[in-house]
């Protein structure tokens, strides 16, 4: 009985550290991305990814759908990926690259990646052009203008 009592504090510390990591990721994402409007990019498997682009920090958050990450790409086709986790990294990187290309930043390069969880990855990028000032009108993905009233 004494042995189990000694393990309890270790278990509590481990759980506390795990929760602190989740809180840190959550607060970081909230601080850097919550005020941004997502844009949607699709990749070869024709599945959409939401992208939150913090142009001042030159970082973007790519967010996937839970069903796609469980079943993989090609959900709209007969074939379903046998192991979606195996293609996850490649799909997220492809979505990040496609987003930069579609927003007229082909010269930018991805310089780093942080995986927050299976649905969210952040990509750092560098561009030759200077960082735009806040409020500068920048290219958005065609046909995706959230907030505009359709008449």
Beta-strand pair 48-54/109-117: unpaired
Of 43-52, 89-98, 116-125, 138-147, the range with the lowest mean pLDDT is 138-147
77 vs 110, which has greater pLDDT?
110
Asked if residue 88 and residue 42 are part of one domain, the reply reads yes
| CA 112 – CA 10 distance, rounded (Å) | 34
Asked if residue 23 and residue 79 are part of one domain, the reply reads no
Confirm whether 80 is domain-assigned.
yes
The pLDDT value recorded for residue 81 is 55
Asked if residue 40 and residue 30 are part of one domain, the reply reads no
Torsion-angle region of 82 (φ positive above 0: left; ψ -120 to 50: alpha; else: beta): alpha
Asked if residue 122 and residue 94 are part of one domain, the reply reads yes
**For a pLDDT cut of 90, what percent of the chain falls above it?**
36
For residue 70, name the pLDDT band (cuts at 50, 70, 90).
low
For residue 58, name the pLDDT band (cuts at 50, 70, 90).
very high
Confirm whether 141 is domain-assigned.
no
Asked if residue 51 and residue 29 are part of one domain, the reply reads no
SS (H, E, C) 37-103: CCEEEECCCCCEEEEEEECCCCEEEEECCHHHHHHCCCCCCCCCCCCHHHHHHHHHHHHHHHHHHHC
What's the structural domain count of the chain? 2
Chain mean position to CA 151:
32
**Which is nearest to 83 in space by CA: 94, 70, 92?**
70
Q: For residue 5, report the phi and psi dihedrals to the nearest 5 degrees.
A: -65, -35
Confirm whether 90 is domain-assigned.
yes
Asked if residue 51 and residue 28 are part of one domain, the reply reads no
Confirm whether 148 is domain-assigned.
no
Parent domain of 7: 1-34
The pLDDT value recorded for residue 52 is 95
Confirm whether 25 is domain-assigned.
yes
Question: Which distant-in-sequence residues (6+ apart) come within 8 Å of 99 by Cβ?
Answer: 39, 41, 49, 51, 53, 60, 62, 141
Report the pLDDT averaged over residues 92-103. Answer: 93
117-140 per-position pLDDT tens digit:
889 999 999 999 888 888 888 877
Taking 3-state DSSP, the helix, strand and coil percentages for the chain, each rounded to the nearest 5, stand at 40, 20, 40
- Residue pair 4/91 in contact by the 8 Å Cβ criterion: no
């Amino acid at each position: 009985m004494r042995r189990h009592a000694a393990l309890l504090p270790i278990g509590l510390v481990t759980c506390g550290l795990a929760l602190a990591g989740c809180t840190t990721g959550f607060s970081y994402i909230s601080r850097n991305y919550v005020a941004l409007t997502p844009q949607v990019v699709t990749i070869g498997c024709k599945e959409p990814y939401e992208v939150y682009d913090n142009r001042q920090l030159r970082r973007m958050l790519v967010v996937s759908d839970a069903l796609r990450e469980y079943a993989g790409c090609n959900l709209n086709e007969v074939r379903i990926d046998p192991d979606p986790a195996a293609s996850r990294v490649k799909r997220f990187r492809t979505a990040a690259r496609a987003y930069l290309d579609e927003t007229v930043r082909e010269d930018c390069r991805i310089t780093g990646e942080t995986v927050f969880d299976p649905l969210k990855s952040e990509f750092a990028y560098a561009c030759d052009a200077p960082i735009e000032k806040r409020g500068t009108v920048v290219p958005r993905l065609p046909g995706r203008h959230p907030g505009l009233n359709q008449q």
